[in-house]
Amino acid sequence: MYLKSGQILILVLLIVVVALAVGLSVASRNITNLRTATQTDQSQRAFTAAEGGVENVLSNFGSYASNPNITSGIAANVPVGDLSANVNVQGFTIYESTIDLGNVAQIDLAGVNSGSVQIDWARGSAEITGDGPASIEVAQFYGNPLNQERWYLQGQPGTRGGNEVINSNPSGFSLGCSPASGFAKCVLIDAKANAKILRIKPFFASTTVRVSGPNLPVQTYDIISEVHTQAGITRKVQVSRTALPQLPAIFDYVLYSEGNIIK
């Protein structure tokens, strides 16, 4: 069987088209893989640089925490390798955190020698069970030598009782307050002279606690580190830390027992 010249040309063109399609497909896949690998590398480098910005701030955190502008936010440009991390550090005088059972919120009262501190708890319907919101124990440590006062506040009516406050010295608190937006319960605690710390422990259920007052020092810090690459990739790392370590509940019985520790 003999092929005419026109048929040969068509056959050659078909072979060329198929080869070109295969070649373009392979090239497209290689380009896609290369782009993906480049983006992955750029993303990892940006994320690592953002973490480096946070680590740089944490290693020099004292200079940021002592800055009088910390509550307004302090911006810093931290070089990390061939990239640069834009870091913002901001302090907040209002303490707000979810406290799990067995844990304690610890609030700094340094410099608060008068006035009331408002404590709100039980945020949202998810934190209010059929038995009412969590009960909380509030302990204030003050003076030199160290003294303490404790208040135990029960939740809503139910098996836990009503809005009862149990305290050997039932002064220095008031339930006459309006809870902050989204919260179900609140109490006002009078700050003692030479106040040190306030510790809040939940019972029966975890609860979100918000502590505010006109004279409170900075309670929490947010560190946000953001990095942009030349490829247009942006990565952000955010870290929050408290001004005081959140010591577990067992420390109430160890640090302030005024006796020897026997293991």
Give the CA diameter of the chain.
Answer: 114
Count of structural domains, the chain: 1
What's the rounded Cα separation, in Å, for the pair 114 and 189?
10
Tens digits of residue pLDDT in 183-228: 988 888 888 888 999 999 988 888 999 999 988 999 999 999 999 9
pLDDT beyond 60 at 161: no
Look at residue 145 and tell me if it is in a domain.
yes
Strand intervals (E) in the chain: 74-80, 83-92, 95-99, 105-108, 116-123, 128-129, 132-133, 135-142, 147-153, 165-166, 173-174, 183-190, 195-203, 207-212, 220-228, 234-242
Look at residue 155 and tell me if it is in a domain.
yes
pLDDT beyond 90 at 55: yes
Is 192 strand, coil or helix? coil
| Nearest residue to 225 (alpha-carbon basis) of 235, 216, 210 | 235
Look at residue 83 and tell me if it is in a domain.
no
Average pLDDT for 123-151: 82
Look at residue 224 and tell me if it is in a domain.
no
Look at residue 167 and tell me if it is in a domain.
yes
Tens digits of residue pLDDT in 145-159: 888 888 888 765 444
Residue with the bigger pLDDT between 254 and 75: it is 75
| Full-model pTM | 0.75
CATH of the domain at 187: 2.60.120
Q: What is the pLDDT of residue 169?
A: 47
Look at residue 256 and tell me if it is in a domain.
no
Q: What is the pLDDT of residue 114?
A: 80
Look at residue 70 and tell me if it is in a domain.
no
The C-alpha R_g of the chain, in whole angstroms, comes to 31
Look at residue 153 and tell me if it is in a domain.
yes
As beta bridge partners, residue 221 has: 91, 241
Mean pLDDT of the chain, nearest integer: 81
Residue keyed to tokens 């009412």: 132
Q: Which domain holds residue 116?
A: 94-217
pLDDT beyond 60 at 261: no
